[in-house]
Amino acid sequence: MPAITPQPGIMDIALYEGGESKIDGVADVLKLSSNENPFGASPEAVAAVAAAAAQMHRYPSIDHAALRRVIGDVHGLDPDRLILGVGSDELLTLIAQAYAGPGDEVLYPVHGFSYYPIVARAAGATPVTAPETERRVDVDAMLAAVTPCTRLVFVANPANPTGTMIGADAVARLAAGLPDRCLLVLDGAYAEYVDGFDGGAALVDAHDRVVMTRTFSKLYGLGGLRVGWAYAPRAIIDVLNRVRGPFNLSNVALAGAEAAMRDRAFAETCREINATERTRLTGGLRQLGIACDDSFANFVLARFADEAEAAAADAHLKSEGILVRRVKGYGFPEALRITVGRPEDVTRVLSALGRFRGQG
Ligand SMILES: *Cc1c(COP(=O)(O)O)cnc(C)c1O
């Protein structure tokens, strides 16, 4: 036994597996494995990052006031109830650190985002899953899984990797049904893709124990810059600011995110193209006999006959230079998660899968 050992739970953490990004010997890889924006970031964000680079010897803002103001303007939210993190991942970590510990349970749906058990264990708490029904979050099953130890509940809506969504009534029923000691975190990483959806902001306003997290990594195309935000009751923002590193976001990241949020036209165009191409991808898959649910995000979960067929489809896509995501670790050995790409990317995926199914 080494003399220096980490806190209980840390060595139970399974390392996060990201989407693959390389295929040996292939130069023109089409990466559809991490739900990134296929159009990249807004050119205005790219220019803002370049300009901010000249100031990188300066420490960044501690309070992120400028970016919080822009987010508040765009979303109609009180900037004093916003907090910025190094991706929404950091905010999930801070929430778990502040609100869960040894003996506490952190509850999430069984096919939920694989980062939830990581933040639970890192905080010394115990991850607990509730069953889903037909790849959808099941509010009754979630409520039934609550125990006296449950302190934190994570739900992504739309969900990853299923792409499914539950309605505002269902989420409201979950929030109302949880005991007062439970904090509900609504992970809105894909909320931007749903026209007119507030990501749960109204529920945050209606309760004193609901938090919404959002990200610049998906629709805004800033996954590599690492910026996320959360909207929460003032008391919870105050707690999270105490555990947040004062300089957690670089001035480069702050500048890029601010410009990205201001460029409404770019975001709207990306959202519209995603919706069109998602419909085409879903329809094309079904035409090939590959099952998939309607997705509300920027990816589709393609379900094959079994694990062997999913593995063969993945291998075939790779042979054509296309990377998608195996989701066995999410409880879907028979499925592949495919990010919605540009129109030509969707065509390339469907043609490749057509050849795989012998229909090309
Ligand atoms: C991508 C994703 C996130 C966002 O991660 P960032 O740290 O903001 O890049 C959060 N939750 C879910 C469910 C996701 O798929």
Ligand 1, CB within 6 Å, residue ranges: 35, 87-89, 113, 156, 160, 187, 189, 215, 217-218, 223, 228
- How far is the centre of ligand 1, averaged over its atoms, from the C-alpha of 13 (Å)? 18
Q: Is residue 5 part of a domain?
A: no
- How far is the centre of ligand 1, averaged over its atoms, from the C-alpha of 358 (Å)? 35
- Pick from 34, 214, 218 the residue to mutate for probing ligand 1's pocket: most ligand atoms within 8 Å of its CB: 218
Write the CATH number for 318.
3.90.1150.10
- Clarify whether residues 125 and 166 are in a common domain: yes
Q: Is residue 1 part of a domain?
A: no
Q: What size, in residues, is the chain?
A: 360
- Clarify whether residues 201 and 285 are in a common domain: no
Per-chain mean pLDDT for the chain: 96
- Clarify whether residues 125 and 138 are in a common domain: yes
- How far is the centre of ligand 1, averaged over its atoms, from the C-alpha of 341 (Å)? 18
Helix 251-262 to helix 43-53 angle (10° resolution) is 150
Please give the pLDDT value at position 27.
Answer: 83
pTM for the whole thing?
0.97
The distance between the two most distant Cα atoms of the chain, rounded to a whole number of Å, is 61
- How far is the centre of ligand 1, averaged over its atoms, from the C-alpha of 135 (Å)? 19
Atom number in ligand 1 closest to CA 218? 1
> In whole angstroms, what is the distance from residue 218 CA to residue 35 CA?
7
* Domain ranges, residue 181: 43-263
- Clarify whether residues 251 and 150 are in a common domain: yes
> In whole angstroms, what is the distance from residue 22 CA to residue 19 CA?
10
- Pick from 88, 185, 211, 212 the residue to mutate for probing ligand 1's pocket: most ligand atoms within 8 Å of its CB: 88
Q: How far is CA 316 from the centre of its chain?
A: 27
- Clarify whether residues 214 and 79 are in a common domain: yes
- Clarify whether residues 124 and 17 are in a common domain: no
> In whole angstroms, what is the distance from residue 332 CA to residue 334 CA?
5
Closest CA to 164 of 142, 136, 197: 136
- Clarify whether residues 258 and 279 are in a common domain: no
Domain count, the chain: 2
Please give the pLDDT value at position 20.
Answer: 83
CB neighbour list of residue 35: distance below 8 Å, 6 or more residues apart: 19, 160, 190, 218, 297, 298, 299, 337, 339
Closest CA to 183 of 203, 163, 160, 159: 203
Please give the pLDDT value at position 64.
Answer: 98
Give bridge partners of residue 42 from the DSSP assignment.
none
The residue whose CA is least distant from atom 1 of ligand 1 is 189
Please give the pLDDT value at position 329.
Answer: 94
- Pick from 187, 219, 227 the residue to mutate for probing ligand 1's pocket: most ligand atoms within 8 Å of its CB: 187
- How far is the centre of ligand 1, averaged over its atoms, from the C-alpha of 55 (Å)? 28
Q: Is residue 217 part of a domain?
A: yes
- How far is the centre of ligand 1, averaged over its atoms, from the C-alpha of 215 (Å)? 7
Atom number in ligand 1 closest to CA 89? 7
Please give the pLDDT value at position 360.
Answer: 58
φ, ψ for residue 359, nearest 5 deg: -115, 10
CB neighbour list of residue 155: distance below 8 Å, 6 or more residues apart: 108, 109, 112, 137, 142, 171, 174, 184, 185, 186, 187
Sign of the four-CA dihedral 249, 266, 43, 189: positive
Q: From edge to edge, which strands make up the β-sheet containing 228-231?
A: 82-85, 228-231, 210-215, 183-187, 150-156, 105-109, 126-130
- Clarify whether residues 304 and 245 are in a common domain: no
Contact between residue 321 and residue 25 where contact means Cβ atoms under 8 Å apart: no
Closest CA to 269 of 221, 210, 311: 221
Atom number in ligand 1 closest to CA 156? 13
Atom number in ligand 1 closest to CA 215? 8
> In whole angstroms, what is the distance from residue 81 CA to residue 71 CA?
11
- Pick from 17, 33, 113, 339 the residue to mutate for probing ligand 1's pocket: most ligand atoms within 8 Å of its CB: 113
Q: Which stretches of the chain drop beneath a pLDDT of 50?
A: none
Last residue of a domain, one of 210, 233, 263: 263
- How far is the centre of ligand 1, averaged over its atoms, from the C-alpha of 107 (Å)? 17
Please give the pLDDT value at position 22.
Answer: 85
- Clarify whether residues 200 and 314 are in a common domain: no
Please give the pLDDT value at position 326.
Answer: 97
Closest CA to 292 of 327, 251, 250: 327
Last residue of a domain, one of 245, 263, 281: 263
- Clarify whether residues 272 and 253 are in a common domain: no
